[in-house]
Amino acid sequence: MLRKRLFVAVTALTLSAGIALPLATLAVPRPAAAQGREPHPVIREAMEKIEGAKNDLVNYADRDFKGHRAKAVEHLNQALGELRMALEADKH
């Protein structure tokens, strides 16, 4: 009788652990990168738009507008640098 109770208790404990452990691992939040998603889609999209604007200014603006085009390109490069540093800072 004691043997049967011990067997039932061990079986119940094993089944409970077998159900609870996988559920517990699902509840742990994982970083977006570990889930196969881009962790910072807004920053990446902004970088793409800035690159596009810079490309347009460099390749298609018909003149320099008294140095303002060059200054705008400089500011766009600074913005890209800041966004790259933001992404790098998030890795640490």
d(CA 52, CA 79) in angstroms, rounded, equals: 13
Looking at residue 69, its pLDDT comes to: 94
Residues 6+ apart with CB under 8 A from 12: none
- pTM surpassing 0.85? no
How many angstroms from the chain centroid is the CA of residue 87? Answer: 9
**Tens digits of per-residue pLDDT, 47-80?**
999 999 999 999 999 898 999 999 999 999 999 9
**pLDDT, position 1:** 73
Residue 6 has pLDDT above 80, yes or no: no
